[in-house]
Amino acid sequence: GHIQLDPGAFIFPGMALSRASDLLDAARDIVRQAPFRHLVTPGGHRMSVGMTACGEYGWTSDASGYRYTTTQPRNGLPWPVLPELFRSLVEEATAAAGFLCPPLQSGLLNLYRPGTRLSLHQDKDEEDAETPIVSVSLGVAATFLWGGLDRASPTRRLRLSHGDVVVWGGPSRLTFHGVAPLAVSSHPMTGDCRLNLTFRQITKRP
């Protein structure tokens, strides 16, 4: 079963559970090729989230702004290939939410350690704002902040646990969201960390 959070936003509790250890293995393989980095925002703040990517496009931030690149800024190499296991989970999740999506272009990997947070933001660096975003939570559970279409809208707090998959599409695609500082806790598969995978379409579809 699923929970509809808002129009277009669907949580599938535990959808990735049976695949969690394979997803983590695939993530480790990506991290070997493209290590986590703490990006600096255009405002000069070092992000507490460790980030890397796979697929055609990866997200980058530096003094000149936020953008998607087809190569890793640190070495000019392409981002690691988006694993088939990720692709099939995304296809399954979007179909279950009632969206028909060709394969998504980018897989972002976000690493949270105790105290890591992600302040309230909108995802609007993608040219395509129609295709849903899919997220997969692994390891230590986090408190997710779910706001509205204005920064000042009230936020709801919801728990995202190991194996949960969420599809964020339609009117929810541009909702403000964030993650509260990760608690000190432990998960058998990830120790004190949380790994979040998000999948997106970057360029407009023809």
Return the SS3 of 91: helix
Which distant-in-sequence residues (6+ apart) come within 8 Å of 98 by Cβ? none
The whole-angstrom separation of Cα 38 and Cα 197 is 16
Where in 140-199 is the site for ligand MD3 (CB under 6 A)?
A: 166, 168, 172-173, 175, 177, 179, 196, 198
User: Using CB under 5 A as the criterion, which residues of the chain lie in contact with Fe ion when the complex forms?
Assistant: 123
H-helix or E-strand spanning residue 124: none
175 marked as part of a ligand binding site: no
Residue type for position 71: T
Residues 6 or more apart whose Cβ sits within 8 Å of residue 203: 57, 105, 127, 128
Least separation, in Å, of the C-beta of 177 and Fe ion?
6
198 is in an annotated binding site: yes
The answer to whether the annotation marks 146 as part of a ligand binding site is no
173 is in an annotated binding site: no
Binding mask 99-138 for ligand MD3 (x = CB under 6 A): ---------x-x-------x----x---------x-x---
The three-class DSSP label of residue 146 is strand
On whether 57 is known to bind a ligand per the annotation, the reply is: no
201: partner contacted, choices Fe ion, ligand MD3, none (Cβ within 5-8 A by kind): none
CB atoms within 10 A of CB 98: 12
Q: How far is the CB of 46 from ligand MD3 (least distance, A)?
A: 16
Site for ligand MD3 contains 91 (CB under 6 A): no
Beta strands in the chain (DSSP E): 3-6, 9-12, 50-55, 58-62, 65-69, 106-112, 118-121, 133-139, 142-146, 156-160, 165-168, 177-179, 194-200
121 annotated as ligand-binding: yes
Binding residue positions for Fe cation: 121, 123, 177
Binding site for ligand MD3 (CB under 6 A): 108, 110, 118, 123, 133, 135, 166, 168, 172-173, 175, 177, 179, 196, 198
Binding residue positions for substrate: 59, 66-68, 125, 151
